[in-house]
A and B are shown apart, each in its own frame.
Chain A
Amino acid sequence: MIVAEQKPLDEVRRMIAPYQRVLILGCGTCMTVCNAGGEREVSFLHNALKVAQVKSPNGTHTFSEYTVKRQCDPEFLEMLDDKVADVDAVLSLGCGIGVQAVAERFPDMSVLPGVNTSFMGMTSEWGVWDERCAACGDCRLDETGGICPITRCTKGILNGPCAGTKNGKCEANKDMDCAWILIYKRLERLGQLEKMRRYYPPRNFRTIPRPKRLMSKANIDLGENDG
């Protein structure tokens, strides 16, 4: 899941300052799960903005709110036509993808990001999320016991551990487990320690072109003999 956090209220207020009517738009998928932009956060932000407006009235706004199932699919955005027609800006609590999808769907509308999209990760307990994937496009988790050194090692090194590990903790963040110690232990448990002894050449991320596009469908040209 994509994990994000809501932007500080001051920043949001600065962003919306030029616009009178603002639609706060939530996202019902990842942003709901990571407590950043689901229906509850949408109405919390809505309320907070209204309180701020009462307390220091510099510019009055009228707010509306709505939450779609997923902002990153254009079909879900079709139902927003009426709502967007009535506002001057959309404050999207979707991740960076959601904001861009909304901007793409409504080219004449100012679309503002309400959250800082932070990482791809998982829930570790209620209210706590951890990063797990950097979307590097070249997954080697089979070689590292299912533990990603790109995201979980501070230095992202491929042939760890480095000399900075002490008692299984990282020198850069002393509360954090050293990813390579975790990898070693996991491989030991799996009886695959020989994978530790291999050398992995440095990766060249520049060979992966951006922006990326994926296709699960085949490119088919229908010829005269088809169908």
Chain B
Amino acid sequence: MYLPITDNIQNNQVNRMKKSSPDHSLMPPCQVACPLHMEIREYVDLVAQGKIMEALQVIRNDNPFPSICAYICNQPCEEACRRSQVDKPVAIRALKRFAVEFGGDRMIQAKAETTHSERVAIVGSGPAGLAVAYYLRKLGYPVTVFEADSEPGGMLRVGIPEYRLPPKIIDAEIQRLTQMGVEIRVNTRVVSLDLLFDMGYQAIFVAIGAHRGRKLRIPGADLDGTWTAVAFLRHARLRQRVDVGEKVVVLGGGNVAFDCARTARRLGAKEVRLACLEPREGMLADASEIEQAEEEGIVIYPSRTFTRILEQDGHVAGVDFLNLRSMEFDKEGKLHLDIIEGSEHSLAADMAIFAVGQGPDLELFSGLSGIEVTRQGTIVVDHDTLSTRHPGIFAGGDVVTGTSSATQALATGREAAFRIDDYLQHRYPQVGKEVEGRLEGDLLPETIKMIRKTERLEPSILSTGERVESFEPVELVYDWEVAINEARRCLRCGMGAEILFQDKCATCLTCLRVCPYHVPYLDDSGTIQIPAEQCQACGICVAECPAKAIVLRKPYDRRHITEELDHDLKSAAQSKSKPFIIGFCCQYGLFGTGTLAGLWRGAKAGIWIVPVLCAAKVETEHILRAYEMGAEGVFIAGCGEQCARENTAFWIRQRVEKVRRTLSQIGLEPERLETFNLAATDEDPVKALDKFTEKIGGLHLISVIMQEVKK
């Protein structure tokens, strides 16, 4: 960080003021893992605070189609989540779904103005194509999307079953793009890119996806009744007739295979079986997919190789299998199978679906110069600029990466839009640098030991019966309280405490002594260190540091309570209702315990709530300030047992006792300061608060009488 060098030591407090505002938070692993680098920690925390609209705003900052991601993201963030070192990762995708649905994503209008004359053509309307369209339109370019199918959406539309992504979600995004002025031409297969240039487009983004299904080269693979996964899902999704027979066998063990199996089940197949090379524990599909499929009656046959499709009257009659002892890919990517001799067996079937991979159809590129194709049959583009060697042709999505995730495609699309902008404006590509300031390192066993374990809360899903009857979305949305309690599990990695003012630190070791997680330590040189990768951001050391040398890494966290308090004090002064009471309430607990509704209902006029992000962050000065500005009573309400820490109450009590001692020295009754537990089961916190209000009212009356007597 750059700081102006001053020659005058007197300026050091001015410098401190300047230094107290920078954001020193580190990028958490979830954000690093997300292809879009979304600010996951921030929006999850906003959900935990019950600020759903704000959460959605944060989500929309980095994601053009959050509703789509909320349904189908493959959640690499959850894999990176450090909560899994404690118990289980935070259910980030489900929380995003909650935020987009409760925050009202579908109500948001997108606007764009045309500020450039260069027209851009986008071939393919899958996630990559749509993302490019969205961002280029935002940048002010006239954009046309060409889609060969009758409906836009690419793989989102024809590759993902409706029970995972309802078509109305895609429709809403398409409508928003149209509102922004993106031209979408369906039923328009582009046959020549040169023609597009001739039509006046100055840049082309090719995102034709990987829609060519593969079959294994085994006898009978082309019989009537054999399908590729791509063709099967596409037929099912576009509501073209698919005659699923009684018995369906799906060959493959990835997520696409499960999409096929579960779709077949919903289309009425009686017996659906799924066979794959991988052993049960090595299957590529998500655990939840496997579990839900089995609940739906799909039988899995792992560790099997397929040798032949059996025939009867020119139609599929079954599949021959061999059992495997093991399978592995060697360094060159060649598959080695260890077959158990004599294990031949067959399964009867009238339909066999190959879910063994898919690739792009590259016919569009034939005859074009500068287009390079990989051994896997994908297009080669420059890593930084996403351009091919043919001027003006860019490509991204599955046509470049091979089968990948929708979120990855969106990220590529966003990147491509900015690179196309660079190209059209004749700028040197402003390629983003590697992410700086990441939070690295695992939690230490000592830290983990002190973090309260909380169960991961999954959103509910439809019952098996309801599922197989229709294509209704399987996963339901969280309800309010569950979402908030799940969001509270976030460890807020990388936004903990730091000793910002080393010049003030007296190395008194208070932080080391008060930290519930034993994070601060003395290094070999006798300097106190608060390692960012261990700090849990509880703020106790910040409130206790006698030199006020420690701050939280995010500027918002530093000033939040003061700002909220000042706001309330101002409002209270204007309302003139007497007596007035300031209540510092754990914002998480207000929502997470369901007390908030009761509190608003039960609270009498004159109670002003200052929401705090953990009651342990309330400092003695905040409390005194409330009295100074005229509050007759102050209370602190924590979330009790729900708190991420065991000893929050201890620190609140310490500060309360200190202020009470001061109050009595001033001649104020110590009962004017009270603590409540929002999660209390023995006494309803709302009733307890009512009693407190009455008591303060009584004290107010007494003091008025006393003053009269004095006069």
**Interface 9-residue window, one of A25-33, A147-155, A175-183, A192-200:** A25-33
Report Cα–Cα, A226/B620, bound state, in Å.
61
Cross-interface CB contact of A56 among B504, B625, B666, cutoff 8 Å:
B666
Q: Is the CB of A28 within 8 A of B621?
A: no
Report Cα–Cα, A56/B504, bound state, in Å.
35
Q: Is the CB of B546 within 8 A of A32?
A: yes
B545 interface contact, C-beta 8 A: yes
A216 to chain B, nearest CB (A): 22
B506 interface contact, C-beta 8 A: yes
Report B533-588 residues with CB < 8 Å from chain A CB: 545-548
Q: Which residues of B contact A32 (CB under 8 A)?
A: 506, 508, 546-547
Q: Which residues of A contact B508 (CB under 8 A)?
A: 32-33, 38
Q: Is the CB of B506 within 8 A of A123?
A: no
Cross-interface CB contact of A52 among B514, B658, B666, cutoff 8 Å:
B666
How does the 8 Å CB contact mask read for A105-126 relative to B, with 1 for contact and 0 for none? 0000000000000000001011
Known A-B contacts A32-B547, A44-B620, A79-B10; the reply to A9 vs B665 at CB < 8 A is yes
Q: Which residues of B contact A56 (CB under 8 A)?
A: 666-667
Number of interface residues of A (CB under 8 A): 31
Report A6-37 residues with CB < 8 Å from chain B CB: 8-10, 28-29, 32-33, 35
Q: Is the CB of B667 within 8 A of A28?
A: no
Q: Is the CB of A33 within 8 A of B506?
A: yes
Q: Is the CB of B506 within 8 A of A29?
A: yes
Cross-interface CB contact of B624 among A51, A66, A67, cutoff 8 Å:
A51
B19 to chain A, nearest CB (A): 15
Q: Which residues of A contact B9 (CB under 8 A)?
A: 79
Q: Is the CB of A44 within 8 A of B624?
A: yes
B662 interface contact, C-beta 8 A: yes
Q: Is the CB of B506 within 8 A of A9?
A: no
A202 to chain B, nearest CB (A): 39
A50 interface contact, C-beta 8 A: yes
Known A-B contacts A28-B504, A33-B506; the reply to A55 vs B666 at CB < 8 A is yes
B513 to chain A, nearest CB (A): 4
Cross-interface CB contact of A43 among B621, B630, B658, B668, cutoff 8 Å:
B621
B436 interface contact, C-beta 8 A: no
Q: Which residues of B contact A159 (CB under 8 A)?
A: none
Known A-B contacts A38-B506, A38-B546, A54-B628; the reply to A44 vs B514 at CB < 8 A is no
A141 interface contact, C-beta 8 A: no
A47 interface contact, C-beta 8 A: yes
Cross-interface CB contact of B513 among A29, A38, A48, A125, cutoff 8 Å:
A125
Cross-interface CB contact of A51 among B509, B654, B666, cutoff 8 Å:
B666
Q: Is the CB of B621 within 8 A of A47?
A: yes
A224 interface contact, C-beta 8 A: no
B292 interface contact, C-beta 8 A: no
Q: Which residues of B contact A174 (CB under 8 A)?
A: none
B594 to chain A, nearest CB (A): 34
How does the 8 Å CB contact mask read for B239-279 relative to A, with 1 for contact and 0 for none? 00000000000000000000000000000000000000000
B480 interface contact, C-beta 8 A: no
Cross-interface CB contact of B514 among A10, A48, A66, A126, cutoff 8 Å:
A126
B470 interface contact, C-beta 8 A: no
Q: Is the CB of A8 within 8 A of B666?
A: no
Report Cα–Cα, A79/B503, bound state, in Å.
15
How does the 8 Å CB contact mask read for B605-633 relative to A, with 1 for contact and 0 for none? 00000000000000011001101101000
Of chain A, the residue at the smallest CB distance from B666 is: A52
Q: Is the CB of B506 within 8 A of A51?
A: no
Q: Is the CB of A82 within 8 A of B546?
A: no
A40 interface contact, C-beta 8 A: yes
Q: Which residues of B contact A51 (CB under 8 A)?
A: 624, 627-628, 662, 666, 668
Q: Which residues of A contact B545 (CB under 8 A)?
A: 40
Report Cα–Cα, A66/B10, bound state, in Å.
12
Report B141-168 residues with CB < 8 Å from chain A CB: none
B307 interface contact, C-beta 8 A: no
Report B1-36 residues with CB < 8 Å from chain A CB: 9-10, 13
Q: Is the CB of B621 within 8 A of A44?
A: yes
B510 interface contact, C-beta 8 A: yes
B600 to chain A, nearest CB (A): 29
Cross-interface CB contact of A39 among B513, B547, B624, B667, cutoff 8 Å:
B547
A41 interface contact, C-beta 8 A: yes
Report Cα–Cα, A8/B662, bound state, in Å.
9
Chain A CB within 10 Å, residue with most, of B10, B503, B624, B625? B624
Report B656-705 residues with CB < 8 Å from chain A CB: 658, 662, 665-668
Of chain B, the residue at the smallest CB distance from A81 is: B10
Q: Which residues of B contact A123 (CB under 8 A)?
A: 509
Q: Which residues of B contact A69 (CB under 8 A)?
A: 503
How does the 8 Å CB contact mask read for B424-465 relative to A, with 1 for contact and 0 for none? 000000000000000000000000000000000000000000
Report Cα–Cα, A54/B503, bound state, in Å.
35
Of chain B, the residue at the smallest CB distance from A33 is: B508
Report Cα–Cα, A38/B510, bound state, in Å.
12
Report Cα–Cα, A43/B624, bound state, in Å.
10
Chain B CB within 10 Å, residue with most, of A32, A82, A126? A32
Q: Is the CB of A33 within 8 A of B662?
A: no
B13 to chain A, nearest CB (A): 8
Of chain A, the residue at the smallest CB distance from B665 is: A9
Q: Is the CB of A47 within 8 A of B547?
A: no
Of chain B, the residue at the smallest CB distance from A40 is: B546
Q: Is the CB of A38 within 8 A of B547?
A: yes
Report Cα–Cα, A127/B650, bound state, in Å.
13
Report Cα–Cα, A69/B507, bound state, in Å.
13
Q: Which residues of B contact A40 (CB under 8 A)?
A: 545-548
A1 to chain B, nearest CB (A): 9
Known A-B contacts A38-B546, A51-B624, A54-B628; the reply to A126 vs B665 at CB < 8 A is no
Q: Which residues of B contact A41 (CB under 8 A)?
A: 546
Q: Which residues of B contact A28 (CB under 8 A)?
A: 504, 506, 547
Known A-B contacts A44-B624, A51-B628, A56-B667; the reply to A39 vs B10 at CB < 8 A is no
Report Cα–Cα, A67/B513, bound state, in Å.
23
Q: Is the CB of B624 within 8 A of A48?
A: yes
Q: Which residues of B contact A52 (CB under 8 A)?
A: 665-666
Report Cα–Cα, A52/B658, bound state, in Å.
15
Report Cα–Cα, A126/B546, bound state, in Å.
12
Chain B CB within 10 Å, residue with most, of A39, A41, A127? A39
Of chain B, the residue at the smallest CB distance from A76 is: B9
Q: Is the CB of B621 within 8 A of A39?
A: no
Chain A CB within 10 Å, residue with most, of B10, B546, B548, B624? B546
Q: Which residues of A contact B514 (CB under 8 A)?
A: 126
A103 to chain B, nearest CB (A): 21
List 21 interface pairs A-B (beta carbons < 8 Å), by A numbering: A10-B665, A33-B546, A35-B546, A38-B508, A38-B547, A40-B545, A40-B547, A43-B548, A44-B620, A44-B621, A47-B620, A47-B624, A47-B625, A50-B628, A55-B627, A55-B668, A56-B667, A66-B13, A123-B509, A126-B510, A127-B654
- Which A residues are closer than 8 A to B by beta carbons? 8-10, 28-29, 32-33, 35, 38-41, 43-44, 47-48, 50-52, 54-56, 66-67, 69, 79, 82, 123, 125-127
Given contacts A47-B621, A48-B666, A55-B666, 11 further A-B contacts (CB under 8 A): A9-B662, A28-B547, A32-B506, A38-B508, A39-B504, A47-B628, A50-B624, A52-B665, A55-B627, A79-B10, A125-B513
- Which B residues are closer than 8 A to A by beta carbons? 9-10, 13, 503-504, 506, 508-510, 513-514, 545-548, 620-621, 624-625, 627-628, 630, 654, 658, 662, 665-668
